[in-house]
Structure 1
Amino acid sequence: MAMFTSHILSTGWYFRDSEDSSPEAWMPVPEVPSVVHQDLQANGRLENPYVGFNELDARWVNEKSWAYRKILQTPAIPAGSVVVLAFDGLDTFATVKLDDTIILESNNMFQAHRVDVTKALETEGEHVLEIEFDCALLRAQELRKQDPNHKWASFNGDPARMSVRKAQYHWGWDWGPVLMTAGIWREVRLEVYSARLADLWTDIGLDSNHESAHVSAFTELDAVNLDSSYKVNFTLSFEGEEIARETATPKDRIATVDFDIPQPRLWWPHGYGNPNLYEIAATLEKGQDEVHKIAKKIGIRTAEVIQQPDKHGKSFFFRINGVDIFCGGSCWIPADNLLPSIDAERYRKWIELMVAGRQIMVRVWGGGCYEDDSFYQACDDLGVLVWQDFMFGCGNYPTWPELLESIEQEAIYNVRRLRHHPSIVLYAGNNEDYQVQESAGLTYNYEDKNPENWLKSDFPARYIYEKLLPDVIQELSPRTFYHPGSPWGDGKVTSDPTVGDLHQWNVWHGTQEKYQIFDTLGGRFNSEFGMEAFPHLSTINYFVEHEKDKYPQSHVLDFHNKADGHERRIATYLVENLRTATDLETYVYLTQVVQAETMMFGYRGWRRQWGDERHCGGALLWQLNDCWPTISWAIVDYFLRPKPAFYAVARVLNPVAVGVRREHHDWSITHAQPPKTSKFELWVASSLQKELSGKVELRFLSVDTGHEIRERIVHEDVKIVPNGTTNIITDGVIDHTIDTEPHVLAARLWLDGDIAARDVDWPQPFKYLDFADRGLEVSRGSETADQQTFKISTQKPVKCLVFEERDGIRLSDSAMDIVPGDDQTVTVTGLRPEETLKYKFLGQ
């Protein structure tokens, strides 16, 4: 009995422009997986499309078809075995030939394929494997023309993209370039076996008291001749130690066993407990021979989305293992336009950054891709919850029968692939497709529950989101919550703040509201909101080639900002709030200050609302990351360099956070007249599960002198409610006829004698304040070979002290507000004793 063997086909590939049939046209491919843009760069035929205007010079690649080929050697094929050619991902219209015979035709980037090539490889020696990738751009346009009656309503990119099952952002988005990739984007291999385990999955039940768990484990067998001599041996392990073992005989190609686990170690999001993982392994045996073995990590947990009527409408929040979780986090776009360039280490660094930023949830956005296994494994390992969109974004998708069949197979494949990950707690049908339906006036009668009617309407995509996808989830992952779209709420208008989730874009887009009132614009779960900022100067230096272009409004900088109207919107938020600048370094910093303030105002207010009957169940900012070096809403740039907003969010998401805020005075409406009085509020938000006792202090400090202008307020022995909000002052008043100096409200929280949290509320707008002569001191404290401590003090309040971001170093904090009498420290990991670190603050 031969064991299962796998031969990864990563080397020995060549590629060419399909129109050039000359023998010398073939160029070597360094390694597969890859896409054509990577391979052209490796062969000196394409400049880096991320630099300067090179994206435009790469447009010719988008309109070509490409061929890849490899010489295969027939592997050793034991008697009674089959040989399968397995493709984990072909981008996108792929015709696969083996010795000039077509063995596969694929048109869906998100599917995997398996082809039996046993007969084709019977002849020993060399065989030619060739893959023709037809031009997805042109094919999409042809498909659109074939259905002129469909209403091709969409946001972003060529509407024809909706006819093709390819990552939609490849057509260009309001943060990304038009790079129409093609190629073998995921692993390809030859498998030789007489029998194999085709799948391994579990169904996990957890008792309400968490005292015991029940794990049912299943495997699906794929065998040439399946007889009663086959057995499957299942083992369950924790931290490398086997805790249970059972053996099963397959029945109808399925083997199943049950495990009862007393006192299970639960999987928790970080900050709530350990993300404990068990390993389930299945070994296929025939007699005494081990034929094939697979293993997966699983987590024991419950995950619910709580939707119940309350005084605010209908709730929408997550409950993990019986604990209500405020889901502060980010939306995720693909971390590169050239997807095979993202390795497991880079994925893990992104998720590690989320944990360092105290972010609980990541939303995999529907215009990208179902991510690599290593992305979800990092989320499992580090305790980050995943909201997973299906790959539909900003459009009214057509529903031809063959397209629906392809979508169904895509969904089945990916849900089967991902369903064991404890991090995945929600599947959503699409991104903003119901908003497209509203904006285009398409038919949507929520009361009509007949799916066949939906297919006949001018919004047929409803069938995908409310019939096809939920049926797949119910069949393959029934314990995972399914949400028809994002945003969506019980068929109501998508801007309804009382139900479901909300994309709040009336800051930046829409009515361009003041960011200071962000908390008043939220809904039950705010799954998108954002503010643009420039990346760090080091990132700009990467893609701006010439010194003459390094000014804020240069052509190349505008080219790297794909957002409509970005010039006006950035200018509006800068001029309303800050004294503007013309030198690039200061301008970059000012945009980052605005982004940090915007995110802080949103998160701080919405987290406070968590304590009000879960009024707000979570906030996922748009966006965590970039797919190329650019100017966007990302709070961490393409090179994993955090912007100041990253640190502002982390502070608000501290397990216990203090908040202080005076009421917003709209200086633009009052023609810059100051208020006569200002109300203010002081509170503490906690995500911990136990009551705490602490001390809260509020000081009133002059911006101009640093002196206290009135008596500080101190509350001793404050009882901080668990997993909620403790309101300390709700009706404070500042009389500006008495306290005439502009002043900050500086709040501190002590727990067990140590300062646990700070918050500073500033008079707005910053442009009216004098930041001269702050008396800031930054001095070195303790140091080791790779870790330095900086002590920070000031004589007058300092706004947004930002330390230089440098590759290979990690800051414990940045974008800090510093006030007199409250010295702070920052620990810098990866900085050597002889190295210095630059910093900047507002008005410097």
Structure 2
Amino acid sequence: MLEATPLTEGWILHHEGEALPASVPGCVHTDLLAAGVIPDPFLGLGETEVAWVGRREWTYETQLAATNGHEQTDLVFDGLDTAAEIRLDGRLLGRTRNMHRSYRFDVTGLGGRLSVRFGSAYAEAEAVRGRLGERPAAYAEPYQYIRKMACSFGWDWGPTLVTAGIWRPVRLERWSTARVARVRPLVTVEDGVGRVELHVDVERSRVEAELSVEATVGGVRARARIDGTRGVVRLDVPDVRLWWPRGYGEQPLYDVELTLLHEDRALDGWRRRIGFRTVELDRRPDAHGSGFTFVVNGERLFARGVNWIPDDVFPSRIGRDRYRERLRQAADAGVDLVRVWGGGIYESEDFYDACDEFGLLVWQDFPFACAAYPEEQPLRGEVEAEARENVVRLMPHPSLVLWNGNNENLWGFRDWGWEERLAGDSWGEGYYLGVLPRVVAELDPTRPYAAGSPWSGSWDRHPNDPAYGTHHSWEVWNREDYAEYRANVPRFVAEFGWQGPPAYATLRRALPGEELASDSPGMLHHQKADDGNGKLERGLARHFAVPEGDFDRWHYLTQVNQARAVAAGIEHWRSHWPVCAGTVVWQLNDCWPVTSWAAIDGDGREKPLHHELRRVYADRLLTLQVRGSSLVLAAVNQSAEEWSGTLTLRRMSVEGGVIGSSRVPFTAGRRSVVDVGVPRELEPVGPKEFLVADADGLRALYFPVPDLEVPYPRPEFEVEIVPGGIEVRAHTLVRDLLLQADRLDPAARAERGLVTLLAGERVTIGVRGWQTPDAEKARSALYCMETGR
């Protein structure tokens, strides 16, 4: 049987004549940090102090003993970042130039000093650029010339920390006769019968040996011969339970076990978990353009999505527990789709395993983002090789429902001046419309492929046409008020978002000793977006008086504005289902402490946006929308059951009086939206009035003017410590009350976000991790709207 021995011990990193202990898997930055050679680049201005690291060469070494007892010994690297030369006792084993691939070298009978020398990713990229010529990109760094995590070169939310190292596991594999080289599982289901076709490739050491494979799944066993180096074993599993996205059903998973045999002697094995489900992408033309609707097991979905970036700029630090924590936070926010964005990586098995278990659909970008990518060698061969490897690697996961060619490159070619600058040079179109769809069609015909995001489906239309396919909505954040989200109804909003700062405790840790201000040195350094603070303040000024010299108030209002902006878009677009079939918020997470579009900050703390997503992504949602000249209440019902109830509508004054009210029955069918007209006499007028709609414990609010114009009463409320948290009782209107629990204790978390209370109402806010509850301290961490602020 194949024997695998991890190589995790005894590594050293050579640095300017010094030998430092090295962690494998790991990277140069984390080793230097552990040795005290560099400061923490996440703190203060530390990023700039370590910029030199990405420009140097680095060598990892360990001792490798020669082994006997098997016919062949392979040295296997699951990931090398990125331009590496591997030698054993001075003998060259090979060179690599792709972070997204694994590598295998025959070291049978060999031993001695194993050396992995990493060249600078900058040097590699700049050399390729010198051979192939300049290509335009959204950023000045040369990330499109090397097959490496693009955002390690910096992004508008990420630091420039260009890594190198053995970033995924390395091991010795010893085997005889043959080993399993690749298993490509095609999983389908029809009429309750699940079919598993396992396409097996083997590597032989002895050609004459007769080989077979035996597989089991769901109590069914089958066997097939290996002809040469290939074989196919088919299993039909009756009465399978379907795998569903979260909110639509359960997520049953089946263990598949395959054994490679020689005369009934086991040589090697392969084990995975699979799920049975069907997935389609409905892109048919209709009266509104052409759609982009996911259909799972025949059920049409409004996708409640988030964009995922690498959870750490040093991805070797992300393990199973962290993946599960972050993806559990996504599920807790009502998310059912996670888009793995193209400027990052193909994530580890731990990521996709968690998505399988939590019922989170995965949209997987191929790693191309915001740049023109050359199509010549050496890149073209690397692109196809990495695509083939990763398509097969990720195929077992039922959560994976879409392969997507790139992020914003088709759009960039048409709109960002690339076409003229390229003057006929290659830029990636051959990947997105040629190589990648061919690879997916050949290897994984069970899943749809999209050429890019955004993409209208044809060059006959603008790539970002909201009426066709996927749409990225960035004009609003960049130039307009978030009310403009309501100006159109895209078929599928694959990116949109609004910035907000991280939690207070995250800032305090990241900027030690700094007097916090929106424009203090550390705050500006941890704001990577072009004119990011300017856009934050202009967006704020449309709704609030921008507080001068009051950081705490600025911090609260910008977080509120972020939550309000994203909610405005989602509520509007969800109310137009099925024309709009999904929203994917930019973004779920951060890779370091930074002001960004994330709902969860770089220390893993939930911003108010995270809690707001839980409300607007719930199966049932009430939202007040303007349709033409009328105000309507849209009851959004994404649940499997009909929703019938009675709406209570109240036209109120900010002082607390009820000007008029009505009770209106409504019925929303399963997976549908119904509009209920608001009587004209209940529509609020002017700054002192607003409308409240309640049904089944859900609430929608409508204020006809910006907060800047609302004469909010001085907020009056009482705070009491209760088991597990605090209770707040309002004596006046209290708008957007927020407990910033991390101000009570850096480990404390509030279990809800923004809440508006009418006079006489109360709310309990659960708090976890608070060791010494105190009512006065809790009051000091509560923020809400005040007149003009």
TM-score bracket relative to the smaller structure: over 0.9
Aligned to 2:642: 691
The structural deviation recorded for 1:691 is 1.8
Kindly state the Cα deviation for residue 136 of structure 1 after the two structures are TM-superposed: 1.0
Which of 505, 512, 524 aligns to 2:474? It is 505
1:55 correspondence with 2:60:
no
Give yes or no for the alignment of 1:267 onto 2:243. yes
For each residue in 1:140-196, what CA deviation from the matched residue of structure 2 results, as whole angstroms up to 9, or x when unmatched?
Answer: 223222233x5x1110242x3211111111111111111110110111111101132
> Which SS does the other structure have where 1:508 is aligned?
helix
C-alpha displacement of 1:27: 1.2
Letter in 2 for 1:816: V
Paired letter, 2:693:
A
Judged with a 3 Å threshold, the aligned counterparts in structure 2 of structure 1 residues 694 and 262 are, in CA distance, closer, same or farther, namely farther
Give the aligned partner of residue 785 of structure 2: 842
Cα distance, 1:609 vs. partner?
0.7
Q: Aligned to 2:710, which of 739, 763, 769?
A: 769
Give yes or no for contact 2:306–2:337 (8 Å, CA) kept in 1: yes
Cα deviation code 1:24-61 (max 9, x no counterpart): x21111x2011111011111110001111111110111
Kept after mapping to 1: 8 A contact 2:47/2:160: yes
The aligned counterpart of 1:450 is none
Alignment of 1:302-701 (within 5 A): 302-443=278-419, 457-491=424-458, 492-509=461-478, 512-548=479-515, 550-581=516-547, 582-610=549-577, 614-661=578-625, 679-701=630-652
Unaligned runs of 5+ in 2: none
Instruction: Return the offset for 1:824.
Output: 3.7
SS in 2 for 1:381: helix
Deviation at 1:662, TM superposition (A): 5.0
The change in CA–CA distance for 1:73 and 1:644 in structure 2 (over 3 A counts) is: same
Paired position in structure 2 for 1:146: 131
Task: Return the offset for 1:699.
Answer: 1.4
What is the 5 A alignment of 1:228-307? 229-237=210-218, 243-307=219-283
> Residues 518 and 554 of structure 2 are in contact (CA less than 8 Å); yes or no, is this contact kept in structure 1?
yes
Matches of 1:522 and 1:13, distance apart in 2? 55
Q: Note if 1:12 corresponds to 2:10.
A: yes
Q: 2:101 matched to which residue of 1?
A: 111
Query: Could you report, residue by residue, the CA deviation over 1:527-557 in whole angstroms, capped at 9, with x for unpaired residues?
Result: 1111110111101111112233x12211211
Q: Decide whether the 8 Å contact of 1:219 with 1:282 is kept in 2.
A: no
- Taking structure 2 as the reference length, what is the TM-score of the superposition? 0.94
Aligned pair partner of 2:179 in 193, 196, 199: 196
1:717-796 matches, within 5 Å, as 718-729=666-677, 732=680, 742-750=688-696, 755=697, 757-781=698-722, 783=723, 788=724, 790-796=726-732
For these two proteins, the number of residue pairs brought into alignment is: 775
Q: Look up the SS of the partner of 2:95 in the other structure.
A: strand
Q: Percent identity?
A: 31
What is the DSSP-based 3-state SS (H/G/I as helix, E as strand, rest coil) of the residue aligned with 1:409? helix
Which of 149, 153, 169 aligns to 1:171? It is: 153
The C-alpha deviation readout for 1:44-85, integer Å capped at 9, x for no partner, is 11000111111111011121111111111223x215x20000
Cα distance, 1:246 vs. partner? 2.1
Post-superposition CA distance 1:778-806 (Å, at most 9, x none): 4344x3xxxx1544432333222222244
**Change in 2 beyond 3 A, CA 1:310/1:730:** farther
- Name the SS of the counterpart of 2:659 in structure 1: coil
SS of 1:598's equivalent in the other structure is: helix
Structure-1 separation of matches of 2:681 and 2:627: 10
Displacement of 1:307? 1.0
Q: Give the letter aligned to residue 742 of structure 1.
A: K
Q: State how far apart, in whole Å, the 1-side matches of 2:747 and 2:299 are.
A: 36
Q: Which AA in structure 1 matches 2:21?
A: P
Match of 1:26 among 12, 19, 42: 19
Contact 2:713/2:732 (<8 A) preserved: no
What's the counterpart of residue 667 of structure 1? none
Partner of 1:133: 118
Amino acid at match of 2:197: S
User: What amino acid sits opposite 1:494 in the alignment?
Assistant: P
**What is the alpha-carbon distance in structure 2 between the residues aligned to residue 740 and residue 278 of structure 1?**
59
Deviations 1:92-131 (A, max 9, x none): 110000010110100111111101111434xxxxx10001
Q: 1:162 aligns with which of 141, 144, 153?
A: 144
RMSD between aligned residues: 2.2
Instruction: Give the letter aligned to residue 743 of structure 1.
Output: E
Contact 1:552/1:583, CA 8 A, preserved across alignment: no
The DSSP-based 3-state class of the residue aligned with 1:722 is coil
More off after superposition, 215-224 vs 5-14:
215-224
Which ranges of structure 1 fall in alignment gaps of 5 or more residues? Answer: 122-126, 238-242, 445-454, 665-677
Native 8 Å contact 2:683 2:691 kept in 1 = no
CA deviation profile, 1:309-342 (whole Å, cap 9, x unmatched): 2221111111111111111111111111111111
Instruction: Report 1:197-236 matches (<5 A).
Output: 197-207=180-190, 210-225=191-206, 229-236=210-217
Write the letter of the residue equivalent to 1:213: G
Q: Which deviates more from structure 2 when the two are superposed, residues 345-354 or residues 550-559?
A: 550-559
Q: Give the match's secondary structure for 1:106.
A: strand
CA contact (8 A) 2:500 2:597 kept: yes
Deviation per CA, 1:704-733: give whole Å up to 9, x if none: x112122x12123x2211111011116746
**Residue type at the aligned position of 1:85:** L
- Cα contact 2:75–2:104 (8 A) shared by 1: yes
Among 820, 827, 831, which residue is 2:759 paired with? 820
- Tell me how far apart the structure 1 counterparts of residues 14 and 350 of structure 2 sit (CA, whole Å): 30
1:713 matched to which residue of 2? 662
CA distance in 1, matches of 2:119, 2:74: 24
TM-score by length of 1: 0.88
1:234 Cα deviation after fit: 1.1
SS in 2 for 1:472: helix
Farther off after superposition, 85-94 or 795-804: 795-804
Aligned to 1:801: 737
- Of residues 85, 88, 111 in structure 2, which corresponds to 1:95? 85
Match of 1:71 among 48, 52, 63: 63
Instruction: Identify if the C-alpha distance between structure 1 residues 224 and 456 changes in structure 2 by more than 3 Å, giving closer, same or farther.
Output: farther
Q: Which residue type is aligned with residue 203 of structure 1?
A: L
Contact 2:455-2:471 within 8 A present in 1 as well: yes
Amino acid at match of 1:372: S
CA contact under 8 A between 2:599 and 2:609: conserved in structure 1?
yes
8 Å contact from structure 2 (residues 12, 19) kept in 1? yes
DSSP-derived class of the 2:658 partner:
coil
| Contact 1:660 1:761 (8 Å CA) reproduced | yes
For structure 1, which segment, 688-697 or 375-384, has the greater mean C-alpha deviation from structure 2 after superposition?
688-697
